[in-house]
Structure formats: structure tokens, C-alpha cells
Amino acid sequence: MLNLQQLMMQNNIVLRPHVVLENSRNGCQAIKLTEIPFSGIIISYGKVSFDETDGDNCKLNFEYEVHDDNGIEYDTDELVTYLGEFLQEMIIVGIQNNDLTYTGGVDENRTGDTVEPDPK
């Protein structure tokens, strides 16, 4: 479970070693992991969501795709844990640097404007 309030208070977060790759044909980005035991694996993240739990905690959900495993044998559960921790780091550093970008998606629960006009 994530406690975003506690995580945001950490000022010493350093992103895991990686290289951002961009596809020149479609502009999409992928990430090449450069830390053992996943060095050389190329992945991209898909949909990311948060489920509220209790108090200040939430559960991070994400989709990912392995584009190239570089011939490396790895435990899928360990890779998912690694990618989840890496995603948390990227989100926190993005928020702290004020350069986090949200793209796509529609709030399926939204039925209209959430702010009611003042009835004066």
C-alpha cells in the first residue's frame, strides 16, 4: 500500500538507472532498464490507477508491456515489484519537480460539472 503523504516528504528519492527511448515513428516512449537483474529489458507503462484503501493509503495499479526482454530470464513477480517501485519513484519525482504529465483517459464516473454555480 502507498502512503503518498509519507512518500512525498522524502526529498532524497533518486530514480533507478534507466534510459528513455522514443519511437521516431509514433512518438511513444519506452524505458530501457539498466540495473541488474533487469538490465537491457525494454518496457512501457500503460494505464495507471489508484484505488483508495483506508486513511492516507492507496493501492497502485498499472499495466505494462515488455517490448524486449534482451534474452534475460527473470521472475515475473520480481519484475512487477521492481516496476511498481520504479513507477512510484517516477510519480513522486514528477510531482516534486512539477513536471508530471497526465495524458488520456476519461473519468467514467463523472456525469457533469462537479462545481455548482453560486445561486445568488
Mind listing the pLDDT tens digit for each residue in 38-87? Answer: 999 999 999 898 888 877 778 889 999 999 999 999 999 999 999 999 99
pLDDT, average across residues 26-38: 89
Q: Answer yes or no: is 57 within a domain.
A: yes
Q: Answer yes or no: is 108 within a domain.
A: no
30 is in which domain, residue-wise? 2-6+14-96
Q: How many domains does the chain have?
A: 1
Q: Answer yes or no: is 39 within a domain.
A: yes
Least confident of 46-55, 77-86, 88-97, 99-108: 99-108
Q: Are 86 and 15 in contact (CB under 8 A)?
A: yes
pLDDT, average across residues 81-106: 83
Residue 98 has pLDDT above 70, yes or no: yes
Residue-wise pLDDT tens digits, 6-16:
555 666 778 88
**So what's the pLDDT on residue 13?**
79
Q: Tell whether the torsion through CA atoms of 85, 78, 40 and 69 is positive or negative.
A: negative
Residues 6+ apart with CB under 8 A from 4: 56, 58
DSSP lists the bridge partners of residue 3 as 57
Determine how β-strand 18-22 pairs with β-strand 2-3: unpaired
Residues 6+ apart with CB under 8 A from 28: 22, 44
Q: Answer yes or no: is 92 within a domain.
A: yes
Q: Answer yes or no: is 46 within a domain.
A: yes
Q: Answer yes or no: is 55 within a domain.
A: yes
Q: Answer yes or no: is 106 within a domain.
A: no
Q: Answer yes or no: is 72 within a domain.
A: yes
DSSP lists the bridge partners of residue 19 as 32
